[in-house]
Structure 1
Amino acid sequence: MRAILVERFGGPDVLRLRDVPLSQPKSGEVLVRINSAGVGPWDVAQRQGRFGTELPYIPGFECAGTVVGKTGDNAGFHDGEPVYGYIGMGGTYADYAACRPERLAPVPMALALWEAGAAPVDLLTADAGINDALAVRRGQSVLVTAAAGGLGHLAAQLAVHAGAHVVATAGRDHHSFVHKLGVAEVVDHYDEDWPQRVRDLTSGGVDAALSTVTPTTDGAIAATRDGGTVATPAPGGEVPAGRRVQLLRYQGPMDGRRLARLAQVLDDGSVALCVSARFDLEDAPAAHSQVEQGHTWGKVVLSVNDD
């Protein structure tokens, strides 16, 4: 099968298209013929050697495709069923990948296979941040930073869906896009005084904040009122002495049951996945370059097989 293989850590040029043996599912796993695979900052970090992954490896944490084979009686999906999910730390930049079925879910009706592969990691992380860590409630004021990005644009929509008054940050080039997500206000996080701008818009600070990237965490803390909460899946950030703000670090549970539940907000139109760029499998280096440079909106996806 075709696969992108990383044989040494480094820049995007280390992503090479190779012919490798077909993935073989273990007992209880399913084999997925991959249609699309999401590209995120975690893929870049792994390629740079920051996860200590053993070489060589096939990149890709998330995908969408069709089940083409399974073993065991509890695989949970039938052959030919469209699925999407998080398969683990690598393996989706390929024609096929083996995966544990509990990490997969049926593809929502709202998503085409070519785009669904870009959803799982950020959708699960956004849901865990907004609905678990922050437990956002109707009427609260909520800040979502870098709201044009893969995680941010989904988190902002989930907060709006929960009934919050949402303030978001984004670069000026992306303000129009972020406004269309339903947020009340957008501020430029490249302005040094953006946390004060958020405080002014919310009468002294937001009740809760989701910092989606490390560079915005200290600002999110500054923009949150005393007694409020900041959640982030990213490292970095510290609550200054004298501030009564709770800083929560969390990881999204990467399970198929949650993905299946989230189909409702996708199918009823409350949340939309936005894909800004689509690359063929052999163009994975270009996809990584775009994600690594930052300043993108929505998600970047690889097209692997067209079903």
Structure 2
Amino acid sequence: MKGISYSRYGGPEVLEYGELRLPKVGPDSVLVKVRAAAVNPVDWKCREGYLDGALEAVFPVVPGWDVSGVVVRPGPAVAEFAVGDEVIGYIREDFLSRGSFAEYVAAPVRTLARKPRNLSFEEAAGLPLVGLTAYQVLVKVLQVRRGETVLVHAAAGGVGSIAVQLAHHLGARVIGTASETNHDFVRGLGGEPVTYGAGLAERVRGLAPEGVDAAFDTIGGETLRISANLLAPEGRLASIADGDVVEYGGRYYFVRPDPVDLLRLTELAEAGAVSVHVSETFPLERAAEAHRLNQEGRTRGKIVVTVEWEEEPEEGRGATGY
């Protein structure tokens, strides 16, 4: 199969497009024919070795934790999915090796859910990681309730744009930080935009004089400190970017695969409560360009890599490697 891989840590230039071995399908996995895979900041952080202390890299590494595609072979213990099922997944494992930037990926069923029927494969690929992050932080960590005021940082980005929609769906008032060029976009998601940068604290206090009930930090550093100071007396704080959040009484959170949560996101997408904005797509062979663009950190919504199939491949021996 064709795919993207890297055999050493480094910049986008270490990504190579070429032939890769077809993945084996374990008892609790399914072979997915990839239609699209989203790019996330964690992808280039893994590629550059920033997560080496936590995740062992088994080179060559195929990057990518987000996927949408079609099941072509269930493992022998799998009853949840059948050939032809359209699925999405946050397919992270506890090591780096077999990701979604390839024509096929072997995905554990614990990482998958059915694809939202109303989303394209490109849109659906952008939902799992950011959607699970936003959902788990808002619902399980911050426990946002109707009538509360929630502050979401980088509200036009991947995680932030989903978090704004989810918090709005939960009945909260949402204040979202964003550049002025993205203010209309944030309003369309259900948020009240404020410009980040110097004077942010004053601008937020102008909208919420008594403080915010919950703050969702996606940036860290000075933004985290400002968020802590903007909390109401009983306010809650969570960060996905800075472990120092615990010093402010908050919680650091790293998203985990959860098929129940992922199915809930599918249901919310089909109900129209959550949408995915795809800012740009790249064909698989141009994945390095997608990484570079994502690393610049100014993306509205998601960047997605697509796998084009001009004709249906044989779904038997050739597609599975058996």
- TM-score norm. by structure 1 comes to 0.93
- Structure 1 residue 205 corresponds to structure 2 residue 205: no
- Structure 1 residue 271 corresponds to structure 2 residue 274: yes
Q: Amino acid of the residue matched to residue 9 of structure 1?
A: Y
Correspondence 1:138-287 to 2 at 5 A: 138-183=146-191, 185-190=192-197, 192-215=198-221, 216-238=223-245, 246-287=249-290
Retained in 2: the 8 A contact 1:127–1:158? yes
Tell me the SS of whatever aligns to 2:135: helix
Q: 1:133 to 1:62 in 2, by over 3 A?
A: same
Which residue of 1 is the match for residue 43 of structure 2?
43
Q: Amino acid of the residue matched to residue 74 of structure 1?
A: V
Tell me the SS of whatever aligns to 2:202: helix
Q: CA deviation at 1:40?
A: 0.4
Retained in 2: the 8 A contact 1:32–1:69? yes
**Structure 1 residue ranges without an equivalent (≥5):** none
Deviations 1:167-221 (A, max 9, x none): 11011221111111111x211112x120222122112311111112224222211
Q: Amino acid of the residue matched to residue 16 of structure 1?
A: E
Q: Amino acid of the residue matched to residue 201 of structure 1?
A: L
**Structure 2 residue ranges without an equivalent (≥5):** 313-322
Cα distance in 2, alignment partners of residues 12 and 138 from structure 1: 43
Which residue of 1 is the match for residue 320 of structure 2?
none
Cα distance in 2, alignment partners of residues 109 and 60 from structure 1: 23
Correspondence 1:11-160 to 2 at 5 A: 11-52=11-52, 53-88=57-92, 89=96, 90-160=98-168
Deviations 1:108-148 (A, max 9, x none): 11211232112100000000111111111111011001000
Which residue of 1 is the match for residue 295 of structure 2?
292
Cα distance in 2, alignment partners of residues 286 and 5 from structure 1: 14
Deviates more, 1:267-276 or 1:217-226: 217-226
Q: Give the RMSD, CA atoms, in angstroms.
A: 1.6
Q: Amino acid of the residue matched to residue 184 of structure 2?
A: S
Q: CA deviation at 1:226?
A: 2.5
Cα distance in 1, alignment partners of residues 109 and 203 from structure 2: 46
Deviations 1:69-92 (A, max 9, x none): 122143410101100101125510
Cα distance in 2, alignment partners of residues 264 and 87 from structure 1: 19
Cα distance in 2, alignment partners of residues 59 and 237 from structure 1: 28
Deviations 1:241-277 (A, max 9, x none): xxxx631112223122211122221111111111111
Q: CA deviation at 1:16?
A: 0.8
Retained in 1: the 8 A contact 2:283–2:307? yes
Retained in 1: the 8 A contact 2:66–2:100? yes
Retained in 2: the 8 A contact 1:205–1:224? yes
Same amino acid, percent of matched pairs: 38
Cα distance in 1, alignment partners of residues 158 and 227 from structure 2: 18
Which residue of 2 is the match for residue 303 of structure 1?
306
Retained in 1: the 8 A contact 2:71–2:81? yes
| Number of aligned positions between the proteins | 301
Cα distance in 2, alignment partners of residues 259 and 82 from structure 1: 14
Tell me the SS of whatever aligns to 1:57: strand
Tell me the SS of whatever aligns to 1:102: helix
Cα distance in 1, alignment partners of residues 152 and 16 from structure 2: 36
Cα distance in 2, alignment partners of residues 133 and 158 from structure 1: 14
Q: CA deviation at 1:227?
A: 2.1
Retained in 1: the 8 A contact 2:37–2:64? yes
Q: Amino acid of the residue matched to residue 203 of structure 1?
A: P
Deviates more, 1:258-267 or 1:140-149: 258-267
